Structure 1
Amino acid sequence: MGRNKLARFKANEENRNVVQEGKEIFERIKGNWGKEQFHNDQPLVVELACGRGEFTVGLAREYPEQNFIGVDIKGSRIWKGSTIAIAEGLENVAFLRTQIELLERFFDEKEIDELWITFPDPRPRDGDEKKRLTSPRFLEMYKPMIKGDGIIHFKTDNTGLFDYTLELLNSREDIKDLVYTHDFYTSEFKDDHHGIKTRYEAIFSEKGEKIKYLKFRFK
């Protein structure tokens, strides 16, 4: 393991805005994000597969009256967002280092006000459907965590994953207020994220890929 990674892992152990295994808060955070991490009762917005945290941190800058959590398993990635948030004095940002499959261990029922799924691994093989972050398995996991009027956002460059997700949502009876576009930056929704781009989104856009986007609520 390189020295840079070791240094980043050490920083994550010390940074208060990183919640990960080995810290006391890791075992008691479920249902207690406002009390234990942010020390307020502001709305909670969660980004899955946050990577380096550009989007999580960017939203936190725009909305100081809300709390933001980026979730990813890669410690060397979330170190970047964690370090930037600390340098900028953003107290409404935190990062949870865990596998997304284990998300229900860390969020109680109705604890999340808004959820973003941004550029996840498309898992194109049929045998990997259950691993897609918009598959029925994951939707059923998210549903109890989201407040009644909470919005779920999904962005991707992958047409196959987007069409799969759209078809799935249209087939379910527990979905409402579903809207979507196959070209985010020419759509009426382009201001939903204040121009904040992740590293991967910037790469895809520069290659001419159209960014697909949808949002919905559970009934």
Structure 2
Amino acid sequence: MIRVLLADDDALVRKGLRALLDAEEGITVVGEAANGQEVIRAAATHHPDVVVMDVRMPVRDGVSATRELRTTHPRPRVLVLTTFDLDEVVDDAIAAGADGFLLKRATPEELVAGIRAVAAGDAVVAPAVTRRLFDAHTARTGPDPRRTTPLTDREADVLRAMATGQSNTEIARSLHLSVETVKSHVKHILAKLDARDRTQAVVWAYRTGFAYRAGGS
């Protein structure tokens, strides 16, 4: 059972999300918070697996709360859910340690899938956000097909699959590998890119244009 904490300053939004998630098999909402300070207290009380986190809340914002949650044990995964897709919001949330980033215009199915994905340790970045990351990069420099990376060809394949939102199981199936082999590749990718987690690796892939290049590293 995936235990979820909802953090949003809009009570109607929290009520709607609770109704949606409590109807899903394998997911239960264990608490709610109206600001970042309440998130920290609720996380300590309810020990959620995933915090669905708004960014702009009173008293304490979601970015600050996400940053503090990184220091707690057990550390919940954080899925940022916001109306804002500005580059600085994405950067701040990811730098704070968010494990995923969805917009509030996401469909119920996308939200549920996002929660399940981050709970399983995968990265989730909304397609609209990844498009902005890529556009921001190409506007500055353009994708450089000669850019080299320290990744092997197989690690590059795995990273591109990660960038499409595939789980380890899905990557294993599509690349005809074992799940344990995929996990090993992911570990090496994070180390080589000096990425804290899958989300940072995926964002790197889009910011550099790497996710849009076929074949070779």
How does the TM-score come out when normalised to structure 1? 0.38
How does the TM-score come out when normalised to structure 2? 0.39
Which of 1 and 2 has higher RCO (CA within 8 Å, sep 6+)?
A: 1
